[in-house]
Amino acid sequence: MSDENQRSAWEIDPSSDDSSSNNSVHHDREHEIHAPRSDRESSFESTQTGFSSTPSAHATGSDQFGMPGQPTGSNQFVDPNQSAGFGQPTGVMQAPRQLPHKTKRFSTPAVAALILAAAVASGAVTGAVVSNRDSGSSSDNSSAVSALKASPAKTKNVDTNGSVQSVAQKVLPSVVSITVEAGNSGDTGSGSIISEDGTIITNNHVIAGAANGGKISVTLNDGTTYPANIVARDPETDIAVIKAQGASGLTPISLGDSSKLEVGEEVVAVGSPLGLDATVTSGIISAQNRPVQASSESSDQSTLIDAIQTDAAINPGNSGGALVDMDGNLIGIPSVIASLGSSSMSQGSGSIGLGFAIPINQARDIAEQLIKNGKVQHPVIGVQVAKESTAHGAVIVDVPSDSDAAKAGLKRGDVVTKVDGRTIDSGLSLIAAIRSHKVGDTVKMEVTNQDGKDAREITMTLSSQETSGE
């Protein structure tokens, strides 16, 4: 079955206190974007925008796309005029079954109505993250931790000897099809093997349906199937780690370095769109640092990613799979797709060349924390930003007096225009930029007032907010 629950992309923190209802939102793009949800719709708590995940393979009903590998769902957009809590992690991604397609549209000039959603097979929705960690000892996961901590594989910067065919031959043995059975529903998605004994990284929205006792099975490229357990998951970043039980001698995927990517670079996507195992597509990196948020209609939470954009065909069921470079190194986890809006999955809900992946550098850090600690520390700066503004940047609407941000010199009304040299044009892009860092990192922000004056530079160390890797 295909991912039916998708999250709305480009949505700002739904958990903010500001509840104004203006639907006009300024985003990177000047067109309407609908963000469907994934298996588990994610809600973004406080300061971070959630990303839209592609739907799982068995999705039916509403045409939502978000995280590939999760079920599609209705699109939800947070009121653009509401403030977004900045620096806090996103909430639980839930992948409900097909739900009525409801979306708030941005009032910016629309070139085409788009839908962002997660790609996972349909599945039951859980109202909260439930602890369901694998009972295996920490030593059982040592190989996975070592793989995640290892230096990224080197990627050639110019032409390589690689071809799509050679990349496929290398990567296919390391990508699995994931099936989740929860009650009367089932979801399908994808995952990448990171250790010989069966540790697999995927999207939370792909396996969230099993959090309350559902069953997970993974199928290798050679047809071998194993039952799997959840090691830990983080709905806020839509990353999850599962373990194939009784597996050995598997072929781990090579982990690349997403910080070295360049726009125009060729990439290959591998996964199980619409339940079609071992599907290979190719394309290029269309853009980087796209702040994409996904949310679900059945949840108040959403997830935001600082995404890699690609035109490689990504469809429901690809969620959690592999986006690799031409050396076969994993550089991203397909999680969100955009599709032309329609009222049913049969109309215009396929790939239109707008797919989004979680950068592997962020994913491997989250996965390592989940495996080692069962919980995740997310970087935050502890302020709230406006979701909509005419200012060219992210407008700060609240700074707690005792916060590190206040001590660093940020104040209400400031406009952040750059973070470490990266242009910031909205609250979403600021949140995504901070989310791309690690706790303890030092960042430099260029700040002005709302008239573009009083320019100054502020340096601060990112603090943390913890979420349980349930």
Residues serving a catalytic function are: 205, 238, 319
Handedness of CA 160, 163, 166, 168 (dihedral sign): positive
8-state DSSP, 56: P
Amino acid letter for position 323: L
Q: Residue length, the chain?
A: 470
Q: How far apart are CA 25 and CA 212, in angstroms?
A: 36
Residue 86: Cβ-neighbour burial (10 angstroms; 0-12, 13-18, 19+): buried
Q: What is the rounded (10 degree) CA torsion for 127, 130, 134, 135?
A: -150
Asked whether 307 and 336 are in contact (CB, 8 A), the reply is yes
CA 335 to chain CA centroid, nearest Å: 5
Main-chain dihedrals φ then ψ at residue 261, nearest 5 degrees: -70, 155
The token duo for 194 is: 């990171």
E strand map for 121-261 = 175-182, 185-193, 199-203, 215-219, 225-234, 239-244, 254-255
* Residue of 126, 134, 87 lying closest to 241 (CA atoms): 134
Residue 86: in which H helix or E strand, if any? strand 83-86
DSSP code of 317? T
Alpha helix positions (H), 104-183:
142-149, 164-171
CB atoms within 10 A of CB 259: 12
Token digits of residue 360: 């592997």
Q: CB atoms < 10 A from the CB of 444, how many?
A: 12
* Structural element, H or E, at residue 117: strand 114-117
Three-state SS at 357? strand
Q: Specify which residues 270 forms β-bridges with.
A: 280, 322
Q: What are phi and psi of 182, to 5 degrees?
A: -135, 105
